Structure formats: structure tokens, C-alpha cells
Amino acid sequence: MKFKQQGLFPEHTQRAGILTGPQLHTAMAQFAEFGKTTEILKFPDPGFELPVYVNEFWTARQRAAHSLHEISYRACFKPQLPRFFITRLTGENDVVYDPFMGRGTTVIEAALLNRVPAGCDINPLSRILTAPRLNPPEPAEIRQRLQLIDLEKPRETREDLLTFYHPETLLAITNLRSYLLQKEKDGNLDHIDAWIRMVATNRLTGHSRGFFSVYTLPPNQAVSVEAQRKINEKRSQAPPRRDVREIILHKSRSLLRKLQPGERSLLHGLSDRVKLITASAEETPQIAGNSVNLVVTSPPFLDIVAYAQDNWLRCWFNGIDPATVKLWHFRKPADWQEKMTAVFKELKRILVPGGHVAFEVGEVRRGQILLETLVVPAALAAGLTPEMVIINSQAFTKTANCWGIDNLKKGTNTNRIILLRK
């Protein structure tokens, strides 16, 4: 099946600062901001004629991103990715949406650019980690609130968690958990409490003194109690006492260090317009039809995420039963494609005419499956128009091999985005 690309916005009036179809294709072909020349390749499936632009379109350097993004989460993309599309395909006050919100990278970046943020994720932890950064408190408010919470109150604790925490640290964590759960139950969890909950959730386990725990695996997942015992034995380590209040304050200062007064006012002004939901991406009646200008997202890939195993400690702290979180698990490409078709149908419903989807995918199973070859027919089946593939690569000296395993080697940093249009 041959598919000819069409111009972007075929029936859409151009707005100031937003690239039209020919302008966007030209911009991709001539892009040279980082001193490299764009290569234009053919789409890997010969059944579709779709331009593939390869260049370093954005940098992944951490210092180039806002400090508000520095929340650890599994398999998240850099904020420079959504910024690239938001600044080219939307104007201020447009709605930018991520149906697989994760840690909220697209949502936070959209808000910082004065776009109306919207997000969805089936994982309830996603909203817990995202919403507070759209309404951040002042450091003094965080400190004052923490001083009011009795973290030393005698209370029964989980003995098995002593594998991760010093007894005094575990008592403080347990008291903080009880305080937050009660405030939520009573409907009194304000933006300061929500911020403290977010930071504490992010500091539960890690590999430095900036976390509550003894040395363990990276902070986007938690090992089992038995696995942690083995780590402790191998490293001859015992959980040290940690100052829970000070760790929360330190991380809060880090997250807020780049936040300017004007940005704080901007986020506050958007707070009443933010829409974050916990739902499955193919069924979001909370979002009105023809209301979203741009979608920037990265879907779950063809693998198995052990949610209950990775998030058991975060779920415990937040009073979530991990068995109730029905994440998508796909082994077969056809099953993944079928689900994405359903998602694309929903995205078509909520997009404005001429609206776009920037859909980031990656190689699966060591390059044997290219998800873009599944995305294009799924998008067409849902009534969306594929426009181009953009490959951002910071190590692409062998671009002829960009469809294979070379880009999985150490030292590469590659994103693959299919741009779709309603």
C-alpha cells in the first residue's frame, strides 16, 4: 500500500508562529542548529512513502532542561523533545496533551510555555508525581508544614522495611505516610501537602544520601525485601539514619531552583485550567472533542513491566493497591497495534482539525521490530494522517544503520517520532 504524504493544515488557517506543512518539512530538511546536516531517508516499510528526517534536533543535556522536571521515572523522555514540537506546532493558550503522562514531562513543559496542560495515565502514581509541580509552593511553606507534622510520634512500623531504613527513619516515613493518607481521606490535602507527598514518594529508595534508604537500585523502582537483604550483605551495609525533613527540603530546593517569579505566576494562572486524569488512554470522556491542539507522548512498548514489583514501595506509601492498577502488557506486535489503533481513534476525537500527534517510539527486541512500522497503519486505520518521521540522534555517524542495532550501542541517544495530523 502506497501512502503519499499530504501538506500539514490542508484546511487550517495558519496562526502566527506556527509552521505550516511545507514550512515544517523545509525546517526539518534544513535544520543545522547543532552543526549537523539533516539526512532524509526512506521509511523502512516500502509500502509507505514517508520522509524520514535524521539530525540532532534537540539536545539531551540536563542543564538545558528546567529543574522542575527532575523527578525520576521509568523510561521517560527528555523535556527538550516536547518543547521542540510545542514551540513549532502550537501557540500560547493552546491545549497540549499526553495520554501516557508518566512523570509529566510533556505536561510540565507545556505549562512552562504557557500552553494549557492536559494529561492521562492509568497509573495513579503519575498524577501524584505531576500535579504538584503545576502548583508549586514556596520553600518556606514546605519547611513550615514539615515542622508541623509529628514525625517522631510512637507508631507501629513494618518490620520488613527495616531492610531499607534505619528504625528512626522508618518511623518518620510511617508518620508522614499516615498524616498524608488522613489528610487525603478528609479532603484536606492542599498543594503543600501534595508537594511533600510527591517529593517523599520520589525519595523512598535510591543510591545516595539524598534518599531515605540505604544504598539500593535507582529511584524509579524498588527491589524486593529479599533482594535488598542480598544487596546489604554483599555491600556489608546497614541502613543509616536519614533526616526525612531535610531530604524533602533539599530535593524541593533543587526542583525549584530554576523557577522564576514569572514562571510561578504563570503556573498559578493555569492551575484552574489543568486537566489530569487517571484513566485508560483509549477512553477519556473527560476530555472534550475537538479541544486538543497537540499531543506529545511515548506509549508503552512491547515488553512486560512488572508494575507491582517495581512500584510496591511507592504504592504502599501512597495507599495504593498495585493489584488494582491494570497496566498494559503486550507480547505480540498485533496486540500492541490493535490497542494503539484504539488510542489513535480517541486522539482523533479530541484533536482540533489540523491538530497533531508527536508519537515517540523506540526499537524493540534489539531492532528486530520497529514500532513506527506498526504505528503508521494503526494511525491510518484510525483516520489520522502520517506526515513524517523525525529521528533525533546525538550519535548518528552511521545513519544508514539508524533502523538497526547500531543506535542501541553505548554513547547513542536516539528518539524516533512519528508525526501525525488530524
The pLDDT tens digits for 346-360 are: 999 999 999 999 999
Residue 368 — very low, low, confident or very high, per pLDDT cuts 50/70/90? low
Helix (H), strand (E) at residue 166: none
Joined grid coordinates for residue 292: 486538543
pLDDT for 162: 98
Domain range annotation of the chain: 21-131+260-313+325-421, 139-255
Mean residue pLDDT across the chain: 89
13 or 304, greater pLDDT: 304
Selecting from 3.10.50.30, 1.20.1250.20, 3.40.50.1370, 3.40.50.150, what CATH number does the domain 21-131+260-313+325-421 have? 3.40.50.150
- In this prediction, residues 84-97 reach a mean pLDDT of 96
Report the amino acid identity of residue 135: N
Virtual torsion, Cα 98, 322, 206, 176, nearest 10 deg: 100
User: Where do the DSSP E strands lie in 84-135?
Assistant: 95-98, 116-121
Residue 414 — very low, low, confident or very high, per pLDDT cuts 50/70/90? confident
C-beta separation of 199 from 255 below 8 A: yes
Distance CA 153, CA 420 (A): 55
The pLDDT tens digits for 309-329 are: 788 999 999 999 988 888 888
Distance CA 264, CA 283 (A): 32
pLDDT for 12: 40
Distance CA 187, CA 182 (A): 9
Q: How many percent of the chain have pLDDT more than 70?
A: 87
The neighbour count for residue 414, using CB atoms within 10 Å, is 19
- In this prediction, residues 162-167 reach a mean pLDDT of 98
Most confident of 34-43, 67-76, 191-200, 325-334: 191-200
Distance CA 176, CA 110 (A): 31
pLDDT above 90 for 412: no
pLDDT for 8: 35
Instruction: Give 2: exposed, middle or buried? Use CB within 10 Å, 0-12, 13-18, 19+.
Output: exposed
Residue 73 — very low, low, confident or very high, per pLDDT cuts 50/70/90? confident
Residue 77 — very low, low, confident or very high, per pLDDT cuts 50/70/90? confident
Residue 303 — very low, low, confident or very high, per pLDDT cuts 50/70/90? low
Comparing CA positions, the residue from 155, 124, 163, 99 lying closest to residue 295 is: 99
pLDDT above 80 for 362: no
C-beta separation of 346 from 160 below 8 A: no
The pLDDT tens digits for 5-25 are: 433 333 344 565 788 888 899
The pLDDT tens digits for 201-245 are: 999 999 999 999 999 987 777 899 999 999 999 999 999 999 999
Instruction: Give 88: exposed, middle or buried? Use CB within 10 Å, 0-12, 13-18, 19+.
Output: middle
Joined grid coordinates for residue 219: 529511584
pLDDT for 352: 97
Out of 83-92, 314-323, 342-351, 401-410, least confident range: 401-410
329 or 422, greater pLDDT: 422
- In this prediction, residues 178-184 reach a mean pLDDT of 98
310 or 61, greater pLDDT: 310
For 39, the 3-state DSSP assignment is: strand
